[in-house]
Structure 1
């Protein structure tokens, strides 16, 4: 089976290094020519919570030849439709794309190739691109997990092969309720990634600050309320039942939930949101696919989402050069209920 990672940035590079280290065939495809040239010359360098240098087979999009049976999609999801359409010449009629992106990427990919050829994957770890050929793994090595499944709930013939390859890096679970797994990941994206981008800090720093911790809690609560209204059961995150831990009902349980937040994210304290990395480099973010998705489904379900709405507003204002990421942005949440 011929396999590719489309988007060998911060996280794609880490996964590619693990698979290549196991002597499995995988092509790392990326539009960043300088990055690809460095990978060709010196291999993939992974630093942070693990250190390794691995020879990889890297190429730019215009250097791709032939067709792939399996593609791990790890690009930003804003342009999924055009990216997949451009890559169609390199897919067989039964090729499968495994979406490993933030937000809710499966519908946009299925729009091009069909639901039956899409396998979704949520990733419970993070990494930071530090320069051409180098990525920093920022999560603890015992938290490198994946959940995979289909939006239709029907099994995919390549599911076991996807599981086998991902388990070269970490434990991988096939889940029947993939919508619940997607929302579990979206909760982390919206809360910790959202506040990381707003404040310009790591997940651990966002959890340590009392003001931002309250914002994180309120964002999570809004996500839970939306899923309840939609009839979606949120899957556990690395064995932790987020709803049970965070779904407060009064002041006492709210205080307990606030206390729990730094403990829940402890293994990912060093993680810096990919949205913050984009803002640092003057790029547009995936905010509309993260907190924006919560706001969208909240409106659809008739559930107010003021904290998610505010994160979207602030990040867009940073993108537009109207403000910068800063702890000062916490003042903008005052007065929200």
Structure 2
């Protein structure tokens, strides 16, 4: 399968490496020149569960894309605020048969994607794999994970199941979901707590979890997400979601991980996706008349941090 990874940061690099090792024809596409040039010159370097490897995968800047062989599958891993521009840039690689799988953090990305591709070719999902961007051309990949996905178009369940099977053949542990919006909101609760709080407090997930207020903060944020989700036909089991979020605290599993927002903002002084996570809940809360004070505040605090660090 000819696969384009649109957004080759930490997670995009993980999927690119695993799909490449699984025998697929993979090309990485990204907008960060230093990262792209490092991969071109030295290969994609990864610490893969403690083993240092170098993988030679074709890579290009999204600005370099020209009409060429069409992709069978484009997996979207760009940042939410860069999604529309990425889709514009990869348009020459899209045919009537190209499938797009969106695995971005956040809520509501299908509204942007359907401007570029028919609904029957759009698949959305989320992933519980972890990855860290060490520097240009270097990533750290550890632990196990999974992927859930679903078709947006009608009568495309078989295509979604085939796509899940293809990902699983490369070890990505993918499965079909018949309620992906529940899973996306559930994952957004992890992002809406761990990502922003670790970035604001400058800690990993285990360190945040060890603080006395952690539980109450998580419960409050999850309840705000759940109240908004309910207005969109998604009934979150808040007790289970809180337990799921707090499982991230365990230092024996992923607790020592610094979330992607931390890596972007604190390590690399890059703008964050907060407006598509807590910010999205805050906007939807205003639309539905639901108070979301914690999401409002966390969104503003991350924007303050972006200004302080002069993030770009």
Pairing 1:101–2:108 present: no
Specify the SS of the correspondent of 2:308: coil
Q: Which moved more, 1:304-313 or 1:44-53?
A: 44-53
Could you report, residue by residue, the CA deviation over 1:91-132 in whole angstroms, capped at 9, with x for unpaired residues? 112211111111022221112223222111201122111112
| Gaps in structure 2 of 5+ consecutive residues | none
Pairing 1:311–2:298 present: yes
Specify the SS of the correspondent of 2:8: coil
Q: Distance in 1 between matches of 2:210 and 2:154?
A: 38
Specify the SS of the correspondent of 2:134: strand
Match of 2:258 in 1: 272
Q: Which among 59, 70, 74 is matched to residue 71 of structure 1?
A: 74
Distance 1:151 1:202, change over 3 A: farther
Specify the SS of the correspondent of 1:194: helix
Q: Distance in 1 between matches of 2:99 and 2:6?
A: 13
Match of 1:5 in 2: 5
Match of 1:23 in 2: 23
Q: CA deviation at 1:145?
A: 0.3
* Equivalent residues, number: 303
Written as runs of structure 1 = structure 2, the 5 A alignment for 1:150-169 is 150-152=151-153, 154-155=155-156, 158-167=159-168, 168-169=170-171
TM-score (norm 2): 0.87
| Gaps in structure 1 of 5+ consecutive residues | 235-241, 248-256, 325-337
Written as runs of structure 1 = structure 2, the 5 A alignment for 1:183-262 is 183-234=185-236, 243-245=238-240, 262=246
Q: CA deviation at 1:158?
A: 4.1
Match of 1:320 in 2: 307
Contact persistence 2:199–2:262 (CA under 8 A): yes
Could you report, residue by residue, the CA deviation over 1:180-237 in whole angstroms, capped at 9, with x for unpaired residues? 1111111111111121122122122221212244222211122123223433134xxx
Match of 1:92 in 2: 95
Q: Distance in 2 between matches of 1:80 and 1:56?
A: 23
For the aligned residue pairs, the C-alpha RMSD in angstroms reads: 2.5
TM-score (norm 1): 0.81
